Chain A
Amino acid sequence: MSKISAITLNTFKEAVRDRILYAILAFAIAMIGSTFILATIGVGSGPKIIRDIGLGFISIFGTLIAVFIGIGLVHKEIDRRTIYTIVSKPIHRFQFILGKYLGLILTLFVNVTIMTWALMGLIFIGEGFWDFRLLAASGMILLELMVVTGIAVLFSAFSTPALSAIFTLSFFAIGRLLDDLRLFGEHYAGPVGRAVIRTFYYLLPNLGRFNVSAEVVHGVPLGEVVSGVTILYGSLYVVALLALTSLIFQNRDFR
């Protein structure tokens, strides 16, 4: 456990030293602040617009951080040849993967928390109260980012950063459209096509399930928005991704 936590903390420290992270975070907060301007021209829908677009920015910038740091997570160690020092130590390869993954999740948690509180602060200035419901939406965004990070780390274990970025962003797009894809298959595909689509529907990450921002903004009770099954689904998917990454990484030859 101490080995994993050491790698986790090291990855976190490494990530927070990265200037790109600060650039993305500063830009994200500036964009969240700009929703205030959009809200003023939104004729009577200002509060909704601030929440919608603010949560949208948290999700978009969180995804960018997850993808662009996640894709280099393992590859960077191989490229710098520091991996040889690590694998020669009494440490299992899955511990290395898990530590790296958790380090990035810790980074994302800190970033999402900062962005969420920036948004909540903006709402507090404008409306005079803390909208704690947004924490539920950003919690689900974080869960989605955990899955996206898992995908990025998986590709990072065997591919180049450029290809990993393309693959991860493609998976993100597909994951966001999976429900529509299934609907499309049910309406227009034949029996074989439907079966193929259904198989992909269950195998690919259904990221749309974590997108509850609209429900939170429209005041749907939190009990209906955040479901235990969704959290379980996200957690199991992350476990599956990390297991596959460990399997691939275990079989890589670093001699």
Chain B
Amino acid sequence: MKMKKISVLWASLFSLALVGSVLAARGLEGRGGVGRIADDSLYLPSATFLRYASLGYRTVLADLMWIRATQYFGGQLEVRKAAPEKHRFLYPLLDLTVSLDPHFIGAYRFGGLLLTVVKRYEQAVAFYEKGYAANPGDWENPHDLGRLYYLELKDNEKALHWWKIANDLPGRPDYIPRFVPLLYLETGQREIAVELWLEMYRSTDNEWLRGVIRGRLEKLGVEIQ
């Protein structure tokens, strides 16, 4: 009986202390203090330091940094004012991610897209170019860079340059070969565009694609023999 009483006493004390600590934690929320900073992204470690500190678990740290970058992006969306410093740590966080794992294609793709969404085009270009330099055999970075130049920066010459590169890489999407002649046309290189479409028309037995090419060539006044 005595043992039971002691157990009940300990259980009650535990419950009270736990509830008290939860209430205290709630009270601490939002309170500042020495060492507390508004944005911990201000104190990002360098990639070199993290490479050593990771003891070889670099890709694990890269994943954690990637999650941190996406959370930072989400957090900044709540900042209403379009101040110049908004999203300023997005690029450093993304750069840190790919410095730890240079083959993290998903981070280049989505990270570049995030930079594009927040209209940090120069950084997006630099980020994609870094991705291409580290992964010259992957079509994703030149493809996304071409899309950025074409859709956002309206620079068809550069879009063509990057899509030509993507077009030659294995695994690229089927629509890239169709876009390349279109870009030749838009950059005033009509002869090359016609030649490429004709070549594509002859080499495919896909009726839908043939119809698309036929339509394009007819608009240019070219007859298919």
Contacts and interface: CB of A to CB of B under 8 A. Distances in A.
B71 A213 contact: no
A107 to B, nearest CB: 23
Interface string A161-185: 0000000000011001100100000
Contacts of A176: 55-56
B56 A45 contact: no
A197 interface: no
Interface in A180-234: 180, 207-208, 211, 213-214, 217-218
Contacts of A45: 63, 66, 104, 106-107, 110
A52 B63 contact: yes
Contacts of B64: 38
A38 B67 contact: yes
B58 A214 contact: yes
Contacts of B62: 52
B100 to A, nearest CB: 10
Given A59-B57, A214-B103, A42 B52 contact: no
B11 to A, nearest CB: 24
Determine which residue in B55, B67, B106 has the highest number of CB atoms from chain A within 10 A of its CB, and name it: B55
Given A41-B67, A42-B70, A45-B66, 6 more contacts: A44-B109, A52-B60, A56-B57, A56-B59, A176-B56, A214-B101
A53 B60 contact: yes
Contacts of B55: 172-173, 176-177
Contact of A180 (B51, B70, B103, B104): B51
Contacts of B109: 44
A42 B106 CA distance: 10
A56 B109 CA distance: 24
B56 A208 contact: yes
Nearest to B69: A43
Nearest to A174: B55
A53 B56 contact: no
Nearest to A49: B63
Contacts of B106: 44-45, 48
Interface residues of B, number: 22
Interface string A42-80: 111100110011001001100000000000000000000
Contacts of A60: 57
A52 B67 contact: no
Contacts of A213: 59
Interface of B: 51-52, 55-60, 62-64, 66-67, 70-71, 101, 103-104, 106-107, 109-110
Contacts of B63: 38, 42, 45, 48-49, 52-53
Given A48-B106, A214-B101, A214-B103, A42 B59 contact: no
Nearest to A172: B55
B87 to A, nearest CB: 16
B101 to A, nearest CB: 7
Given A41-B71, A43-B70, A180 B52 contact: yes
15 contacts: A41-B67, A42-B70, A43-B110, A45-B106, A45-B110, A48-B106, A56-B57, A56-B59, A172-B55, A173-B55, A176-B55, A177-B52, A207-B56, A208-B56, A214-B101
Contacts of B66: 42-43, 45, 49
Contacts of A207: 56
B99 to A, nearest CB: 14
Nearest to A210: B56
Given A177-B52, A180-B51, A218-B103, A42 B57 contact: no
Contact of A56 (B51, B60, B71): B60
A48 B62 CA distance: 11
B105 to A, nearest CB: 8
Nearest to B97: A45
Contacts of B52: 177, 180
Determine which residue in B60, B67, B103, B110 has the highest number of CB atoms from chain A within 10 A of its CB, and name it: B60
B59 A214 contact: yes
B56 A48 contact: no
Contacts of B60: 52-53, 56
Nearest to A59: B57
A211 B56 contact: yes
Determine which residue in A176, A180, A214 has the highest number of CB atoms from chain B within 10 A of its CB, and name it: A214
